[in-house]
Structure 1
Amino acid sequence: MTLTADCSLETLLSYVAREDVRLSASGGALRYDAPARSAGPLLEAALRRHKPALLARLAAGTAEASREDADDAEDGVPADPEAADPEAADPEDAGTVEERAPATREQSGMVMRHEQTKEPQVWNVALRLRCEGPLDVPALRRALEKLVHRHHALRSRYAWEQAMASTGTGGTRSAAAEPSPGRKLWQEVLAPRPVSLPVEDLREVSPPERAERLEAACDRIAQTPFDVARSVQPRVKLFRTGDESRTLMFVLHHISCDGWSVSVLLKELGTLYGNEAGHLPLRPLPPPTSQCTDYARLQASSALPEEEHRRRVDFWADRLAGCRPDSGLPADRPRPAVLSGRGATAHAVVPAELFGALRDFARETGTTPYAVMLAVLVRLLHHLSGRGEAVLSTAYANRAHPSTDTLVTCTATIVILRLRTDGDETLSELCRQVTAGLAEGITNFIPYARIREGLSRHHGVELPSSIPLGATYQNSVDLSVDLPGVSTTVTDQTGLTARRDCSFSFLPCADGTAEIHTEFSTDLYEPATVEGWLAEYAGLAGAMLREARAVP
């Protein structure tokens, strides 16, 4: 029996029963939940055609309940955002699937890591925007809505090719279920829907309590995990802390963005807000250079030939033969069988004079500031572990194609570095090793999951599911946003989670300094231990630099 837009009610009911489409009513709107194979424009049209009859049957208790919204137009947004319910939940209802494409390698890996992590909120990317000035809240809501509507990655969900087993409480599919071999992950772009901006007014409480409540609320929003099978639409909430002081929480899932994407989003948010608030001249935004679905197709069309893939597997087998991929860092506690995901952060500042000297050294020796800072880190890891090598992962933006310029999705991936040291190398020698390792890793790049699988299958080498040590240099991240007429400061809302044993992030700052951010597992390390490492880093960098520049 084929479904058509003008089918009879009996045909539609038969289709609903056969395809496990769940129906429910909510405030006069008809909602449905359907397996991906069954959803689409024909089902939507048929449901709208027979909506009165279906609502009547639901009211009589003759259909099952579900969650999805089949009539977006009946969902409103608060007319006065400043009066919105402060505890209103984020609308993560799905709705109509607008486009469907295979998931990218990065998306597939992210979903698997999301499923396997005890604390999946570790994959949240939480930003706090502190706004001082006459903020136009309705204009901000409209700007956020247009931002979500512009980028497919901000209104997607992820579904396996075959429907997941029923939960027994409504039949909702879940990406948290373990996929069977051969299952394929799809990204489903949902049709644009209104974006609400809940507002909580904290002006009536005392300043100490206000600060405490704001911190707790921001942390709660940042630490709430996404259901990637339902929606990864960003969570937003605005807190009013003074007559012209507000804080916006803007939380994304890492599957939707990387550092490059965050910079794009903040820049566009400023432009969209200025346009919506009526600031002249208007600055129309061109369409994004591509969408996450376009990137998936580009990735599929440029897959490596089998012979080249095998050559790269052999390269990594040779590069990683006999390595010890555990961190080697002395832990304060015994390692549990599985890390909980609980973590903390530590921070240090590299003074402007020292960071400037490191950058000058990079320029003089034909390398990069990251290579110099990573070389210092390798020496520090040697001091701490006593080992003659360090194995770590480093982020690779993976944005060489021009279509990725304003693409919002996670293209960033990791390159594995195996760096050998006996503690006696000069800074120049370590920098050359780092630079060569990065260049060779990018030239022979294949995703880490494929390296693991290839080494296990063809070489009998077993690697952990993730490399315990990580390092990044965030020169592509611009945490600034220009909201006309409003002074805005953007900071990361760091959570109490850790994605690996320990990761080091280097961030050059506008004032000439550099910041070092360390995220570490509290299952293994005390904060004081990691803070001691960071304190040692600056002194070691200065000593290595003086040694490199000493006259023989």
Structure 2
Amino acid sequence: MPLPEQADRRRELVARLLAQKAAPQGVIPIPRDGSPLACSHEQRRIWLAQQSDPTAAPNVTLGVRLTGPLDLARLAGTFTALIARHEALHTIYTLVDGEPYQTIRPGLPAPFEFADLSGLPEADREPTALALARTASAEHFPVTSGPLMRLTVYRISPSEHRLFLVCHHIAADGGSLAIVADDLAALYSGTEPPAPSVQYADYAAWSAERSARRLPERLPYWAERLRGLPPPLFGGKPAETAARSGATRMIRVERETVDRLRRVADSPATPFVALCAAYAVLLQRMTGHRDLNVGIVSASRTRRELESVVGTFVNMIPLRVALPAGQTFAALLTRVRETAAGALANEIPFDTLVSKAGIPRIPGIHPVFQASFIHREDPKPPADWNGLTAEVWDHEVDDATLDLTLSATPRGDQYELAFTGRLARFSPAEIRALPATFATLLTELAETR
């Protein structure tokens, strides 16, 4: 298709998607009478995964560095108001006839803790706060009784504090924590944000109906696409259950390197496609496999009314990519772009895909894919905290649900590339070497034609 015609088609697609997002027949509130409500597919997947392995869905975390006179009592009241504002943060989960259901509990407590580290030697305060945060990130929240979120404040000095929020993944995802951060800042500053027009339980009911309607037309795509699955990427032996721990190592590369990578093909690829294709090359070189499945993340906030809703919206989608010998990187970019478009157009909940598409299960091995790629948006600056200076507090959390995950995050003129490897599969030395190896590969591929 000529490039001008491609551009016209893309503009048409974007306009259609925006129109769908704004269409009136969307998510509507369902009755609340105190009885259990259906879980979403995303919640059900997390619940079922944790029945066999409590570490299968790591908590989500948020760190904020605050400089200035922090009012602790005011912050505690703010956190209580935040929990009350979002139903997903005061919901518990129970089994009914073998299926998980959610029950909204308005009186659920809002755990708020304070640790004063200002008495430690100055050089030890920040490392101690980071170590305590890493330990807190692994907290096991009781989903049957709650609460499912905890906020801890680490005092570094009278004018320096670190806020660390940990939440069970069944109640929130990374996108939701961005909403939480904005709401915390607004509420602390005395501003009441507009109330969400719907809550997560409304989305759960709507998405279940939508998935049931779409399944018959989309399931054949996956049955065909995943026929004859390749063997597990990093070996077929189950990893030790206790060895869910991982290690994370990262590197920053210039955005220009990624831009050159995108331009290898005749039609420039998106950063997501370019980095995902390069990751597939890395996996092929690591394992020798030329038939790969890589998991990508889809956030199901397809409706405008869901943009301020806290909950778990993340679905995992497999990309099956062939890397035949002699294939150029330009051809691989096209293949990944087409495969991603087909997968997203036929998206169904991952647990449904596994159960309905006849996917064979191997105990201790993640089904369909064992490696994932996550492309994040450029993080926006923290919201205003009423006179306090707020910055992102970077904290390294080494939860390894899959054997290997690459996360790519744009940071100004650079890309932050983080590899998290499962220590049951990789040695610490192997994980330490991956970022530099990948950065070298990016430069190599960006120079190909």
Q: What's the TM-score bracket when you normalise by the shorter of the two chains?
A: 0.7 to 0.9
**1:383 shift after superposition:** 1.4
Aligned-partner residue type, residue 260 of structure 1: G
Residues in 1 aligned to 2:120 and 2:394: alpha-carbon distance in whole angstroms: 25
For the structure 1 residues 423 and 537, does the alpha-carbon distance in structure 2 shift closer, same or farther, using more than 3 Å as the test? Answer: farther
Residues 211, 348 of structure 2: 8 Å contact kept: no
Corresponding residue for residue 299 of structure 1: 207
Q: Are 1:420 and 2:322 matched, yes or no?
A: yes
Residues 109, 147 of structure 2: 8 Å contact kept: no
**1:426 shift after superposition:** 2.8
Corresponding residue for residue 344 of structure 1: 247
Residues 232, 252 of structure 1: 8 Å contact kept: no
For the structure 1 residues 236 and 519, does the alpha-carbon distance in structure 2 shift closer, same or farther, using more than 3 Å as the test? Answer: same
Residues in 1 aligned to 2:142 and 2:424: alpha-carbon distance in whole angstroms: 25
1:133 to 58, 68, 84: 68
Residues in 2 aligned to 1:421 and 1:374: alpha-carbon distance in whole angstroms: 13
Aligned-partner residue type, residue 534 of structure 1: P
Secondary structure of 1:299's counterpart equals helix
Secondary structure of 1:140's counterpart equals helix
1:318 to 221, 224, 227: 224
Residues 53, 241 of structure 2: 8 Å contact kept: no
Corresponding residue for residue 513 of structure 1: 414
Residues in 1 aligned to 2:398 and 2:256: alpha-carbon distance in whole angstroms: 32
Aligned Cα root-mean-square deviation (Å): 2.6
Residues in 2 aligned to 1:479 and 1:291: alpha-carbon distance in whole angstroms: 26
Residues in 2 aligned to 1:352 and 1:393: alpha-carbon distance in whole angstroms: 24
For the structure 1 residues 222 and 286, does the alpha-carbon distance in structure 2 shift closer, same or farther, using more than 3 Å as the test? Answer: same
For the structure 1 residues 138 and 354, does the alpha-carbon distance in structure 2 shift closer, same or farther, using more than 3 Å as the test? Answer: same
2:141 to 212, 226, 231: 226
Residues in 2 aligned to 1:264 and 1:258: alpha-carbon distance in whole angstroms: 10
Corresponding residue for residue 153 of structure 1: 88
Residues 185, 383 of structure 2: 8 Å contact kept: yes
Corresponding residue for residue 357 of structure 1: 260
Corresponding residue for residue 108 of structure 1: 44
Question: TM-score normalized by structure 1?
Answer: 0.70
**1:206 shift after superposition:** 1.6
**1:532 shift after superposition:** 2.0
CA deviation string 1:79-98 (max 9, x = no partner): xxxxxxxxxxxxxxxxxx95
Corresponding residue for residue 391 of structure 2: 489
**1:527 shift after superposition:** 2.2
Residues 129, 248 of structure 1: 8 Å contact kept: yes
**1:512 shift after superposition:** 1.4
1:124 to 59, 76, 81: 59
Residues 259, 476 of structure 1: 8 Å contact kept: no
Residues in 2 aligned to 1:142 and 1:493: alpha-carbon distance in whole angstroms: 25
Gaps of 5+ in 2: 1-32
**1:110 shift after superposition:** 0.6
Aligned-partner residue type, residue 541 of structure 1: L
**1:303 shift after superposition:** 3.7
Q: Please say which of residues 532-541 and 423-432 is displaced more in the overlay.
A: 423-432
Q: Are 1:386 and 2:292 matched, yes or no?
A: no
For the structure 1 residues 387 and 212, does the alpha-carbon distance in structure 2 shift closer, same or farther, using more than 3 Å as the test? Answer: closer
**1:445 shift after superposition:** 1.7
**1:209 shift after superposition:** 4.1
**1:196 shift after superposition:** 5.2
Secondary structure of 2:445's counterpart equals helix
CA deviation string 1:528-549 (max 9, x = no partner): 212322212122212222213x
Residues in 1 aligned to 2:398 and 2:435: alpha-carbon distance in whole angstroms: 19
Q: Are 1:471 and 2:373 matched, yes or no?
A: yes
**1:114 shift after superposition:** 2.0
CA deviation string 1:313-339 (max 9, x = no partner): 32212111222151248x9xx754646
For the structure 1 residues 200 and 530, does the alpha-carbon distance in structure 2 shift closer, same or farther, using more than 3 Å as the test? Answer: closer
**1:127 shift after superposition:** 2.2
For the structure 1 residues 408 and 423, does the alpha-carbon distance in structure 2 shift closer, same or farther, using more than 3 Å as the test? Answer: farther
Identity %: 22
1:398 to 292, 300, 304: 300
Residues 253, 416 of structure 2: 8 Å contact kept: yes
**1:214 shift after superposition:** 2.4
For the structure 1 residues 114 and 336, does the alpha-carbon distance in structure 2 shift closer, same or farther, using more than 3 Å as the test? Answer: closer
Is the radius of gyration larger for structure 1 or structure 2? 1
CA deviation string 1:28-67 (max 9, x = no partner): xxxxxxxxxxxxxxxxxxxxxxxxxxxxxxxxxxxxxxxx
Corresponding residue for residue 170 of structure 1: none
Residues in 2 aligned to 1:189 and 1:529: alpha-carbon distance in whole angstroms: 45
Residues 222, 493 of structure 1: 8 Å contact kept: no
1:268 to 183, 200, 207: 183
For the structure 1 residues 327 and 184, does the alpha-carbon distance in structure 2 shift closer, same or farther, using more than 3 Å as the test? Answer: same
Residues in 2 aligned to 1:150 and 1:361: alpha-carbon distance in whole angstroms: 48
Secondary structure of 2:439's counterpart equals helix
For the structure 1 residues 538 and 219, does the alpha-carbon distance in structure 2 shift closer, same or farther, using more than 3 Å as the test? Answer: closer
Secondary structure of 2:419's counterpart equals strand
Q: Please say which of residues 405-414 and 365-374 is displaced more in the overlay.
A: 365-374
Q: Relative CO higher for 1 or 2, CA cutoff 8 Å, sep ≥ 6?
A: 2
Secondary structure of 1:128's counterpart equals strand
Question: TM-score normalized by structure 2?
Answer: 0.85
Residues in 1 aligned to 2:34 and 2:77: alpha-carbon distance in whole angstroms: 21
Residues in 2 aligned to 1:215 and 1:339: alpha-carbon distance in whole angstroms: 23
Residues in 2 aligned to 1:367 and 1:353: alpha-carbon distance in whole angstroms: 14
CA deviation string 1:431-469 (max 9, x = no partner): 21111111111222222222222233xxx8557543211
**1:160 shift after superposition:** 0.8
Aligned-partner residue type, residue 372 of structure 1: A
**1:482 shift after superposition:** 2.8
Residues 403, 425 of structure 2: 8 Å contact kept: yes
Corresponding residue for residue 206 of structure 1: 121
Corresponding residue for residue 17 of structure 1: none
Would you say how many aligned residue pairs link Structure 1 and Structure 2?
415
Gaps of 5+ in 1: 1-96, 162-181, 276-282
Residues 349, 513 of structure 1: 8 Å contact kept: yes
Residues in 2 aligned to 1:432 and 1:108: alpha-carbon distance in whole angstroms: 34
Corresponding residue for residue 343 of structure 2: 441
Residues in 2 aligned to 1:370 and 1:339: alpha-carbon distance in whole angstroms: 33
**1:470 shift after superposition:** 0.9
Residues in 2 aligned to 1:274 and 1:531: alpha-carbon distance in whole angstroms: 42
Residues in 2 aligned to 1:148 and 1:106: alpha-carbon distance in whole angstroms: 21
